[in-house]
């Protein structure tokens, strides 16, 4: 029986316990037989922060920001959640062919579960970051109340894109390789190592209009405003961020729903 997208959403809600179990399963598998456990999720961003701070602030002196490490760590944590979510979600269907072809269940639970597992990690990392900021004496203002809004907006973005990529990867396995390459380029085109300011880097004014068109820049600006500058997010990027999440979440689910019946055969 072919279900409409709204019927599929209702079915997914009825299987919400399955989504929870898949999320827990991914978390357990990630840290199985690991002595440091979830600490590894923070050690990698910390190492990246140390390297980028040394290169851009000390060696090249390309960026001059007070507490530059906090600026980088804020962006790296948000980016790590996004990149890990897409890298895992794109493989959600192709790595579970037997499960999908032999058992009927809302298979969108697979990429959604992987994204949610990364989101749980991300929330823990944000809590640790807030402790770091407090110890370093970096003030966080009332804008902190918007942090959950930004985090859940990024979650919606990751789920929407994850559904699209997981679906397309079933028909064209090159997608998973493309995602790895695209994320590498996307990282440097996103204001993570530098503020979205035309005067922040040499020659930055020339590329500023193009950098503003990067959707991830809207999310990063909101994170940086709240966690680094201690101010309210800029209105235009914040509104664009919410609109981007809504559009891609709906579009992603519609693309998946249109291909759902064909996926078991393609696997």
Q: Please write the tens of the pLDDT for every residue from 202-235.
A: 555 677 777 788 999 999 999 999 999 999 999 9
- Residue 159, pLDDT > 70, answer yes
- Residue 43, pLDDT > 90, answer no
Q: Which pLDDT score is estimated for 33?
A: 64
Average pLDDT value for the chain:
88
Residues 20-48 as b or e (16 or more Cβ within 10 Å = b): eebbeebbeebeeeeeeebeebbeebbeb
How many angstroms separate the Cα of 239 from the Cα of each of 73, 148, 234, 243, 252? 24, 15, 9, 6, 20
User: Could you tell me the pLDDT band of residue 115, with boundaries at 50, 70 and 90?
Assistant: very high
d(CA 85, CA 14): 24
**Mean predicted confidence (pLDDT) in 53-75:** 81
DSSP assignment of 186-211:
HHHHSTTSS-S-TTSSTTHHHHHHHH
Percent of the chain with pLDDT over 70: 91
How many angstroms separate the Cα of 152 from the Cα of each of 69, 155, 210, 263? 24, 5, 26, 28
Q: Which pLDDT score is estimated for 93?
A: 95
CA-closest candidate to residue 162, choices 69, 217, 89, 97: 89
What is the reported pTM? 0.91
**Mean predicted confidence (pLDDT) in 83-108:** 92
Q: Which pLDDT score is estimated for 30?
A: 73
- Residue 39, pLDDT > 70, answer no
Q: Which pLDDT score is estimated for 232?
A: 96
Q: Which pLDDT score is estimated for 264?
A: 87
- Residue 190, pLDDT > 70, answer yes
Compare 29 and 87 and report the one with higher pLDDT. Answer: 87
């Amino acid at each position: 029986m072919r279900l409409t997208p709204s019927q599929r959403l209702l079915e997914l809600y009825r299987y919400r316990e399955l989504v929870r179990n898949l999320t827990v399963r991914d978390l357990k598998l990630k840290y199985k037989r690991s002595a440091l456990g979830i600490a590894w999720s923070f050690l990698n961003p910390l190492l990246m922060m140390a390297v980028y701070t040394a290169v851009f602030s000390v060696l090249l002196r390309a960026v001059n920001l007070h507490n530059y490490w906090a600026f980088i760590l804020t962006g790296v944590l948000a980016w790590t959640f996004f990149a890990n979510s897409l890298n895992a979600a794109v493989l959600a269907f192709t790595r579970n062919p037997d499960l999908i072809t032999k058992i009927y269940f809302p298979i969108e639970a697979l990429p959604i579960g992987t994204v949610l597992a990364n989101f749980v990690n991300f929330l823990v990392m944000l809590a640790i970051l807030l402790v770091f900021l407090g110890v370093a004496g970096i003030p966080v203002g009332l804008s902190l109340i918007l942090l959950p809004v930004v985090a859940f907006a990024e979650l919606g973005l990751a789920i929407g894109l994850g559904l699209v990529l997981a679906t397309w990867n079933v028909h064209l396995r090159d997608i998973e390789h493309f995602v790895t390459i695209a994320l590498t380029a996307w990282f440097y085109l996103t204001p993570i190592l530098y503020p979205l300011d035309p005067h922040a880097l040499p020659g930055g004014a020339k590329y500023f209009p193009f950098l503003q068109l990067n959707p991830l820049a809207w999310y990063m600006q909101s994170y940086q405003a709240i966690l680094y500058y201690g101010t309210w997010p800029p209105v235009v990027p914040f509104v664009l961020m919410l609109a981007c999440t809504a559009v891609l979440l709906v579009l992603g689910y519609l693309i998946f729903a249109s291909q759902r019946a064909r996926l078991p055969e393609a696997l």
